[in-house]
Amino acid sequence: MPFSFLQFWKKAEPKSKVPVSEIPLFSALGPAELELIESKIRRVEYKKGDVVYRIGEKAEAFYLILLGRFRVIGIKGETLAVLSQGDYFGESSILLGRDHSATVETKNDGLVFKIDKKDFQELLTAIPSLSLHLSRTLGHRLTRGVSRTEVSSTKVISICDYGFDFEKSIFAQNLAAMLAVHGKKKTIVLGLESRNESRFSVQKGHTLPLLHFQSANSEHIQKLIYEERAGFHFLRVGNGVNGGEASSGMAALIGFLIDRYDFVLLDLPPDFRDIGVKALQQSDLVYFLVRETQRTSAKALSFLKEFRTSFGFTSDEVRFIVCEEKYSQPAMGKPMFGEAEAFPVFGFLPYEADLYEPHDASRPAFDLENSASKYTKAIRFFTRELTGRLVGLALGSGAAFGFAHVGVLRVLEREGISIDMVAGSSIGALIGAMWASGLNAQALEEIALSLDHKSTFFKLIGFQDLLLPHDGFFKGDQVTRFLRHYLGRKTFRVLEIPVKIVASNLFTGEEVIFDEGDVVDAIRASISIPGIFRPVRMHDQYLIDGGVVDPLPIEVLSRYGVKKIIAVNVLSASEDHAQRQRFYEARKAEEEEAIKKRSLMGRAWYYLASRLKGRYRANVFNVLMNTIQFLEYGIAESAARGADVVIHPVLTDAHWAEFYSGAKLIRRGEEETLNQLSEIKKLVEESV
């Protein structure tokens, strides 16, 4: 298979080589536009502590973050924001023609796309959709009196839908309640009405007309705001306004509210005319709710695409949420449907029958009264993402070295450190998914210790798994049976923690992320070590080990809104391999010294065994695994710059195939996590 072989080596490069098309800001652009942008950009590296620019300096460039984290510092030295992968800065000063109003420095080693001021201005002229997006974001930030660099703490979120009636409003009010009570954020819901339409009950107060609205009449507005028992506020807005009146009125109203609230949720009317359109133009994010039965609808997908491009939203600014229905059954396999790839599912809303029952207005919102429900857990997840509190755990590839992940999990459990999302490649996917299924670290350790010298081969591979070496040495059926014993037919939606499992497309070198369907099938794809296990065929794709393209899936967590990331890299650096070789040689010297005391026959047998062992040390399995891991470490090292804490538990007296040495590998993971515990606690202390 020469083609797949070449693709495999071609893709084995650091994540710093991110194509322009994979950047959310540019994801909706065409080939010619992407080529133009590529001709203007420079990749620039910064070391920890480097200053990109200072307050008062002239604007010289636009910056877009590929790797690392950058701190925005105010005039008094205070941290205004921490920007990460996909964020950008510097554009406000260029567009407004003024000097920088904040300092930006690197929090850890970073890599950016840099576009010089002149080239940036040319791109805005040549690419209308890019200009539209930046104008929109700048416009609604100026409404608040701040630029993007002077990041405002207030978020304006539009909530819209495709094919719903009142479910969207229920979602808006439950999200507002969770933000107010558990997020401790002052939140208001604006119920926006089209002309001659009223969707909200009379007890919510009178409608605020936008006609001739002036932000100075604050006393009148305050009287119209209804305070919900659940802790958030509600304001009904509308009354027959359109055109320029709607535009100026909505901008003025948003400007009034952002000085008083942390979150402004806009419950949009069924159509997007009049004030609905103007509200979208003032929004930072959009939550787009779609029924599960309509998620593959060509009409719905076309509508979503048009919606995003019309308003200049990037792919990560539209949160695509699939709502389960009473009689709908989730697909067992991960959907693969053309245009949907441009709109990855951000989350799911489980069906709850009680949501559709009449509720006493004096009672709190559903999600506050039903803390154990799946619906509430989903709302809580969205709340933590919006408030920047999500804590993610990236578990890397590394064959048997991955047993160190269990030691990491043991410390996190013991210290009461909660994880909101797990992303894993290869052995990291296997352990992360089993942990998220409800098996705690103690249970995982017992499973690991059940593998000894005699049973490991038969439990994980076995003679019945052998293949003629065409597409692999082993079928992988035995390891699937092993996993089924513990996971059964569990799907991602029943896992206690959201999990993202990474595999690689053999023929394109693309990353494939599993977060739906059968968990064991996803793990089996992710652990398909090239040449050792047969590739998994799924949805007309051939999938191999996820570590080939993403051995430390930090970027995956960032893509799903995780701001606080702990990464575990169990792969060995070049110096670790050198130390392992020195250990091997020292042990061999000790053995040779000890063998001198044996009989002539004993020495003969030793030297014969030693020669055979040395000859077969470079067997095909070692050749494949060592080569793969050498390359994966370079990718993982580059990706690690996107994490806040990196745990690197490496043992130089262990081998990648020592699945029977779980105890020492787990212990090593525990030791390294304890060494980093203070940093981990510091990271998550604001996430509780």
% of the chain exceeding 90 in pLDDT: 34
CA-CA distance, 229 to 447, in Å (whole number)?
49
pLDDT score recorded for residue 613: 60
**Sign of the four-CA dihedral 80, 85, 87, 89:** positive
Given a cut of 60, whether residue 1 has pLDDT beyond it is no
pLDDT score recorded for residue 473: 67
Catalytic residues: 426, 545
| DSSP, residue by residue, 331-344 | -SSPP--GGGGGS-
Given a cut of 60, whether residue 146 has pLDDT beyond it is no
pLDDT score recorded for residue 295: 75
Strand order in the sheet with 70-73: 51-53, 103-106, 70-73, 79-83
Given a cut of 80, whether residue 250 has pLDDT beyond it is no
CA-CA distance, 550 to 384, in Å (whole number)?
26
Sorted by sequence, the CB contacts under 8 Å of residue 238 that are 6+ apart come out as: 192, 193, 194, 195, 197, 207, 208, 209, 210, 269, 275
CB 132 within 8 A of CB 259: no
Sorted by sequence, the CB contacts under 8 Å of residue 216 that are 6+ apart come out as: none
Mean pLDDT of the chain, nearest integer:
80
Lowest mean pLDDT among 151-165, 200-214, 218-232: 200-214
pLDDT score recorded for residue 619: 64
Which of residues 51 and 614 earns the better pLDDT score? 51
pTM for this entry:
0.77
pLDDT score recorded for residue 611: 61
Q: Report the 10 Å Cβ neighbour count for 630.
A: 15
How would residue 337 be classed by pLDDT, with cut points 50, 70 and 90?
Answer: very low
What is the tens place of the pLDDT at every residue in 367-388? 888 888 999 999 999 999 999 8
What is the tens place of the pLDDT at every residue in 509-548? 889 999 989 999 999 999 998 878 888 888 888 999 999 9
Q: Which of 1-5, 252-256, 479-483 has the highest mean pLDDT?
A: 479-483
% of the chain exceeding 70 in pLDDT: 78
Given a cut of 90, whether residue 74 has pLDDT beyond it is no
Which of residues 287 and 68 earns the better pLDDT score? 287
pLDDT score recorded for residue 287: 92
**Sign of the four-CA dihedral 580, 583, 589, 595:** negative
What is the tens place of the pLDDT at every residue in 430-474? 999 999 999 999 999 999 988 877 666 556 676 566 665 666 667
